[in-house]
Structure 1
Amino acid sequence: MNTEHLKALGQRIRDLRKNIGWTQEELAERAGIDRSYIGGVERGERNLTFLVLCQICQALNCDVATLTQNIPKEYI
């Protein structure tokens, strides 16, 4: 997997979290995920599962499509 895809997803999560005005700790608590894991996701270091992505989306009050639109940009 291209780590650029994970970085793009992580940046979108970070941007949405910051637009809401939450810290990583607040997002982690609302999503039921460890704060350090959220940090890794936002930096593109974690290849999160679909279930974890759903937890994050539920906490951010958005759908998976919102965060993943046009990722990846290239199709095989």
Structure 2
Amino acid sequence: MPSPPASDFAVALGERLRAARQARTPKWSLERLGRRARVHWTYIGQIERGEVHPSVLVVARLADALQIDLGELMAGLPAPPPGKDPDE
């Protein structure tokens, strides 16, 4: 079964995280960010590609490791995709 298309929210968040990581001097690798944030580097790659919707805890760890404000990171992102109706 093919994966559902990436949401605008996930893509925008991933682009922001990648830009923040690459803005570090010297530029941080996924592995370095993963060690600092205590998040596996392959999962960070999935986030940056917009393939997953990470928990707020993971995003907060990444923001903290990158020394960026979580609120600023999230401000102005597209609306997240709707969840499933628990009554269905």
| TM-score (structure 1 length as normaliser) | 0.88
CA distance in structure 2 between the partners assigned to 1:59 and 1:46 by the alignment: 20
Contact 2:11/2:49 (8 A) holds in 1? yes
Does 2:15 correspond to 1:44?
no
Structure 2: segments with no counterpart, 5+ residues: 1-5, 80-88
Shift in Å at residue 64 of structure 1?
1.2
The alignment of Structure 1 onto Structure 2 pairs a total of residues equal to 72
- Counterpart residue number, 1:54: 60
Does 2:63 correspond to 1:68?
no
Q: More deviation in 62-71 or 41-50?
A: 62-71
Shift in Å at residue 46 of structure 1?
1.2
After TM superposition, where is structure 1 displaced by more than 3 Å over at least 4 residues in a row?
none
- Counterpart residue number, 2:7: 3
CA distance in structure 2 between the partners assigned to 1:42 and 1:6 by the alignment: 8
> What is the one-letter code of the residue matched to 2:42?
S
| TM-score (structure 2 length as normaliser) | 0.77
- Counterpart residue number, 2:18: 14
CA distance in structure 1 between the partners assigned to 2:55 and 2:22 by the alignment: 22
Matched position secondary structure for 1:6? helix
Higher helix share: 1
Does 2:33 correspond to 1:27?
yes
Identity of aligned residues (%): 35
Structure 1: segments with no counterpart, 5+ residues: none
